[in-house]
Amino acid sequence: MAEHKVEIVRETRHGGLVARVIYDNARRLNVLNPPALADLIRAFEEISRDDDVRVVVFSGVGGKAFIGGADIKHMVGLQTPDAARAFITSVHKLCQAIRDCPVPVIARLEGYTLGAGLEVAAACDLRIATESAAFGMPEVRVGVPSVVEAALLPRMIGWGRTSWLLLTAENIGARKAEEWGFVEQVVKTSEIGAAVDRCVDAILDGTPKAVRAQKALMRRWEELPLAGAIQAGIDSFAQSVTTGEHTEKMTAFVNRKRG
């Protein structure tokens, strides 16, 4: 019997369908091992195929950790480059499945977000944390470098702060993570559910195709030089008028202003 559980809960709210990915390996601080990674990848791939989903909330169970890192019990057994490559590639595949998800993914961060867990959080579009949350990249203390989606950190928090996290392996608190730009919002533990719901509702206020187009465009901005990124935006804007969403929304706005 698996020690972990991955659950997708679909919730219909005013404005559309919300998918909640709930990871439960709480007995071990929600660490990631190969079976858990495979199940989480499948969950995000399933959600990505659902055209009705508007936004995803990703959380860990128990309140003590979002994801406490990769499973040390598994990692200690990695004795060959091929085995190590296979495992870390699976971590990357989860991060990529989140980044490839066509709708926004919100990370609900409680307790520890460490190592592979921080990389997974970085792969999400938005991060909301409790005041007691802690963040760190402890890999160099256990004999390996921080890799895969740790490569996102310099553009999120800068090279100096990335160096501090990766080279000192020291944890930082939620307020510092917010100050550094890794976390978008920090709230009291009792308020985390309401804060996430407010973020969900704000995204649902956007139109479905425009939100999907915006996320896709932002992913392209990461890879393109400035001129190419601007042209990609022009192309995306031009394509957006073919959906009809703008006609309904803009007409309603104009009529409201006239009233």
Using the 8-state DSSP alphabet, how is residue 32 labeled?
A: B
What's residue 249's pLDDT? 81
In sequence order, the 6+-apart residues with CB closer than 8 A to the CB of 230 are: none
pLDDT in tens, the chain (259 residues): 578 999 999 999 999 999 999 999 999 999 999 999 999 999 999 999 999 999 999 999 999 999 999 999 999 999 999 999 999 999 999 999 999 999 999 999 999 999 999 999 999 999 999 999 999 999 999 999 999 999 999 999 999 999 999 999 999 999 999 999 999 999 999 999 999 999 999 999 999 999 999 999 999 999 999 999 999 999 999 999 999 888 888 777 788 766 5
Q: Give me the torsion for CA of 157, 127, 40, 94, rounded to 10°.
A: -20
Domain boundaries along the sequence of the chain: 5-204, 208-258
Residue 144's pLDDT is what?
A: 97
The first and second tokens of residue 202, run together, are 């704000």
Structure tokens at 36: 């858990």
- What pTM, to 2 d.p., does this model score? 0.96
Q: In what order do the strands lie in the sheet with 53-60?
A: 5-13, 16-24, 53-60, 105-109, 126-130, 185-187
Strand runs (DSSP E) across the chain, as ranges? 5-13, 16-24, 53-60, 65-67, 105-109, 112-114, 126-130, 134-136, 172-173, 185-187
Query: In terms of CATH architecture, what is 208-258?
Result: Orthogonal Bundle (1.10)
The CATH label, of 3.40.50.1580, 3.40.50.720, 3.90.226.10, 3.40.50.510, for the domain at 5-204 is 3.90.226.10
